[in-house]
Structure 1
Amino acid sequence: MSTPEPASGGVPRVFAVIRALSRVPPEGARVTHLAQSVGLTQATTHRLLQALVAEGMVEQDERSKLYRLSVDFFALAAQAGNTGGLRALCRPALLRLCASLGDTLFLLVRSGFDAVCLDRAEGPFPIRSFTGDIGGRVALGVGQGALAILAFLPEDEREEVIRFNLSRVREFGVYDEVYLRTEIERVRQLGYAGRNTGLLDGMAGVAVPVLSAEGRPVAALSVGTIADRLNPERLPTVVALLQREAAQLGPRINPFDPVLRRPSQSLAEPWPESAGPRSADA
């Protein structure tokens, strides 16, 4: 008979599985993939996963049978970091930019193949945008904020999004795969998305990605304004202000913030008093 391993012997294996789950796509991964990733047998990996499911730290999709870290796990981790959440963290930056530029600011985050407007600070000019008000969403690649997020995703994720969203962005009439890939490369070289596509008549926008400490595009800061206000002379100033705020925000973002995994859920939560008013003119 084999000697029973100490009670703490399974702890490193549990954390190995958790770390492996942190690297899988948002939809999750199969037991076989996770077992190969951590170097354990499929039976052992399955047993560890079921224990984590029982504790609420991992969830399994009923249809696909894929495993992923649960919202409870991210919520627990978030309590150890920035408890105010992404909206509260970014709200002062939105207000500063809105006051400095006199334009409308948007905070967008990725949600699967879409970008969701998590917050908005109103400027004095009436504008139209792809996401509309807070909670609106648009396919990644459509509009400057969604394009800024897409352009800086890791290559494999970026390719997956392009394949899935190509038919969706074509609905706007001016997009095809060559154009989209050209725009993505342009954004990566410049560090911002700022070309006026003409899709919203009289409107223009510019956006920069907010990169986490690990270099992942977790959000985008975007300006929406009338086209005349984003002329070639003013554009560099707007970009510089956006990039300065994004550079300060990125390292402060908690990678376990549940908003980054389920942004739509956070929109139903009460607005934290510490974050100030919802709109710039409130």
Structure 2
Amino acid sequence: MTPSETATGAVPRLFALLRALADAPSEGCRVTQLAKRVGLTQATVHRLLQSLMAEGAVEQDPRSKLYRLGVDFFALAARAGNPGDLRSLCRPALLRLCGSLGDTIFLLVRSGFDAVCLDRSEGPFPIRSFSGDIGGRIALGVGQGAMAILAFLPEAEREEVIRFNLSRVREYGVFDEVYLRTEIEQVRKSGYAGRNTGLLEGMAGVAVPILDREGRAVAALSVGTISDRLSPERMPTVVSLLKREAEAIGPKIHPFDSTLRRPAQRLSGAAT
């Protein structure tokens, strides 16, 4: 193996380790735990951790000896922002919607077979959501925001996502292929996802897709609230406000943002 091949092979290991640290408890993880999670030897994990510590991406608690992501890693992530600066583009809309509706507003973005919470503006009512806080990830098709994105993907992409995600959405207990496809058609007809599935007791939500200039769903604006606040009488108002903001955002999305514009290119790799 050449030096360049060795270096290339180390990159996936480093990212696997970073992801494991990101999923670890806030206090951190031991080398043995990390090695088990990423499927590498303890010696290899220790060597990679030392390299990441040298760059400031990882730190070790001097007392517990546990490893966790370092401050420099978060600083770098903050400077990187997000693809196409979508978060900055949508932030004013989230604040307007939160102020007008008094509910929590989420911005979800397509990432392969998942939807990721890119931003949220907190309302006064305590809620639970599928994606959780910023950075939370959920399978496309689960929850209103992820369903809104899935429903408005191009047909070929939508079918591939359905095939891949069907076993994942079944884990929630009420989904089968007929149900999923029925929901998708309903969302495409109405232009929004707003049916209460009952998966989160006492919670309700509604979401609309954000379409780019080609009509491709790349993100969604979603309202999360308690069930009593999303009555049939209030729903049209909420949907109208969401659609107005989404329609204003769509044409402004960066046309050369590869992450948002061409997610289908990553599907095959994610499935293997």
TM-score, structure 2 as length reference: 0.65
Structure 2 unaligned blocks of 5 or more: 1-81, 264-272
What is the match of residue 165 of structure 1?
A: 165
Distance 1:188 1:83 in 2: 26
What is the match of residue 225 of structure 1?
A: 225
SS in 2 for 1:87: helix
What is the match of residue 154 of structure 1?
A: 154
Residue 132 (str. 1) matches residue 163 (str. 2): no
Distance 2:261 2:164 in 1: 19
Q: Answer yes or no: is the 8 Å Cα contact 1:203–1:227 preserved in 2.
A: yes
Residue 103 (str. 1) matches residue 103 (str. 2): yes
Residue deviations 1:143-185 (CA, integer Å, cap 9, x gap) = 0000000000000000000000000000000000000000000
Give 2:160's aligned amino acid. Answer: E
SS in 2 for 1:198: coil
- Change in Cα spacing, 1:84 to 1:157, as seen in structure 2 (3 Å) is closer
Give the 5 Å matches for 1:59-74.
none
Give the 5 Å matches for 1:1-282.
85-257=85-257, 260=260
SS in 1 for 2:186: helix
Deviation of 1:258 (Å): 5.2
Distance 1:262 1:138 in 2: 19
Residue deviations 1:89-117 (CA, integer Å, cap 9, x gap) = 00000000000000000000010000000
Give 2:199's aligned amino acid. Answer: L
Distance 2:261 2:151 in 1: 19
SS in 1 for 2:245: helix
Q: Answer yes or no: is the 8 Å Cα contact 2:83–2:259 preserved in 1.
A: no
Q: Answer yes or no: is the 8 Å Cα contact 1:127–1:226 preserved in 2.
A: yes
- Change in Cα spacing, 1:114 to 1:246, as seen in structure 2 (3 Å) is same
Aligned residues: 182
Structure 1 unaligned blocks of 5 or more: 1-81, 264-282
TM-score, structure 1 as length reference: 0.62
SS in 1 for 2:232: coil
Q: CA RMSD in A?
A: 1.8
- Change in Cα spacing, 1:93 to 1:171, as seen in structure 2 (3 Å) is same
Q: Answer yes or no: is the 8 Å Cα contact 1:85–1:257 preserved in 2.
A: no
Deviation of 1:256 (Å): 2.0
What is the match of residue 59 of structure 2?
A: none
Query: Alignment identity in percent?
Result: 82
Relative contact order (alpha carbons < 8 A, sep ≥ 6): 1 or 2 greater?
1
